[in-house]
């Protein structure tokens, strides 16, 4: 593999602005597909004359992927490798890629060749239409039904609660302007929600139908359980994106409703007690007390949340203090 080189690095260690693209590829035990993947990427980049760096994030592979990667790196100086000692998950891997990417655009792609490198130029064309993020849509998907049906439900739920009209939130193939990545962090399993995180920061999100292929080598790393963890994460993400800056809006509303109901129930029972109605054994009495206690707890959580967001806001702007 000759003639594969990146533009020279500047003194600051950043590659000159001619670097159009960073490919970020997380991988976990994909030893068999790697050589095919790099060939396919190579021919696309060559054909379309795209200057790119290729970042592989080896997520604790134990199948010899590390050796194959370092062999590839020897022959091709566009390749950069980052390795985890243990498997930390696709989100953590993507996050490392996002922190180190230097290109004007960043494309994420799975390492199993289910995503087609031929989509790279099309993604670039699409983002240049005026988007900040373009998410792939595997319209015709080559996965078992145990994956496609839960995925449809998940995408419907994500669309409904987020209001973002994407068909395939979790598509591995996406393109970003690099500035976008400075404003989001992915951890846990949040990689499924990157479009929601980005939209919450005001970035424009687009969609492009992409070619998908069946897995030829290795096996999938995500089982059916991801469906449930995905739905739980969806609730967290809505909470994070909507209420982080004003947690009292959420907790206060619940607390207020609970307190009002509790207060009226107890007031009603107290009036009865004054006119001689015993209340000690009435179920309504316990409900009233419960609602008041729960209401106070919601308010307390809201206040703690407010204090935390206030401290973060202050930390972002150190000149401003409470004494100002
Ligand atoms: N992956 C990873 N860490 C993990 C699980 C997966 O880096 O813990 C990588 C995997 O090697 C692949 C991509 O994430 O490059 C997508 O995984 P997979 O193909 O198993 O997902 P599926 O296509 O079945 O949804
Ligand atoms: Mg796959």
Give the model's pLDDT for residue 2: 40
Three-state DSSP state, 290:
helix
How high is the mean pLDDT in each 10-residue block of the chain (324 residues)?
46 56 98 97 96 97 97 96 97 98 97 97 97 97 91 95 95 97 94 95 97 94 85 91 92 97 97 91 95 98 95 77 50
CA pair distance 162, 244, nearest whole angstrom? 15
Closest to 70 (Cα-Cα) out of 21, 103, 34, 29: 34
Map out the domains of the chain as residue ranges: 4-243, 247-316
Burial category of 160 from C-beta neighbours within 10 Å (exposed 0-12, middle 13-18, buried 19 and up): exposed
Select from 97, 221, 225 the residue to mutate for testing ligand 1; criterion: most ligand atoms less than 8 Å from CB: 221
Distance 227 CA to ligand 2 centre (A): 15
Distance 198 CA to ligand 2 centre (A): 23
- Phi-psi domain of 308 (left: phi exceeds 0; alpha: psi -120 through 50; beta: other): alpha
Beta bridge partners of residue 26, listed in sequence order: 57
Give the model's pLDDT for residue 3: 42
Give the model's pLDDT for residue 318: 58
Give the model's pLDDT for residue 227: 85
pTM: 0.85
Q: Which ligand is located closest to the Cα atom of residue 144?
A: 1
97 in contact with ligand 1, CB cutoff 6 A = no
Give the model's pLDDT for residue 104: 96
26 in contact with ligand 1, CB cutoff 6 A = yes
Which residue's CA is the nearest one to ligand 1's atom 9? 27
Q: Which CATH superfamily is domain 4-243 in?
A: Spore Coat Polysaccharide Biosynthesis Protein SpsA; Chain A (3.90.550.10)
Other Cβ atoms less than 10 A from the Cβ of 117: the count is 21
Give the model's pLDDT for residue 50: 95
């Amino acid at each position: 593999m000759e003639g594969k080189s990146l533009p020279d690095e500047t003194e600051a260690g950043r590659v000159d602005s001619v670097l159009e693209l960073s490919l970020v590829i997380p991988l976990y035990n994909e030893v068999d597909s790697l050589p095919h993947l790099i060939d396919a990427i190579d021919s696309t980049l060559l054909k379309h004359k795209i200057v790119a760096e290729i970042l592989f994030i080896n997520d604790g592979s134990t199948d010899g992927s590390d050796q194959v990667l370092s062999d590839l790196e020897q022959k091709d100086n566009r390749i950069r490798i980052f390795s985890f000692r243990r498997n930390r998950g696709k989100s953590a891997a993507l996050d490392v890629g996002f922190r180190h990417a230097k290109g004007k655009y960043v494309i994420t792609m799975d390492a199993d060749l289910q995503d087609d490198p031929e989509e790279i130029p099309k993604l670039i064309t699409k983002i240049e239409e005026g988007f900040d993020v373009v998410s792939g849509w595997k319209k015709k998907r080559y996965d078992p039904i145990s994956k496609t049906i839960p995925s449809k439900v998940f995408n419907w739920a994500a669309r409904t609660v987020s209001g973002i009209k994407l068909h395939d939130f979790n598509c591995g193939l996406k393109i970003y302007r690099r500035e976008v990545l400075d404003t989001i962090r992915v951890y846990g399993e949040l990689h499924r929600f990157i479009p929601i995180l980005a939209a919450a920061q005001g970035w424009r999100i687009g969609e492009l139908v992409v070619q998908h292929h069946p897995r030829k080598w290795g096996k999938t790393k995500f089982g059916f359980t991801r469906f449930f963890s995905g739905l739980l994460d969806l609730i967290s993400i809505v909470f994070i994106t909507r209420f982080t800056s004003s947690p009292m809006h959420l907790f206060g509303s619940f607390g207020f409703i609970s307190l009002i109901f509790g207060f009226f129930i107890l007031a009603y029972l107290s009036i009865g007690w004054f006119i001689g109605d015993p209340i000690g054994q009435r179920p309504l009495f316990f409900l009233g007390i419960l609602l008041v206690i729960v209401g106070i707890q919601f308010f307390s959580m809201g206040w703690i949340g407010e204090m935390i967001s206030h401290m973060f806001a202050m930390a972002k702007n150190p000149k401003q203090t409470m004494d100002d």
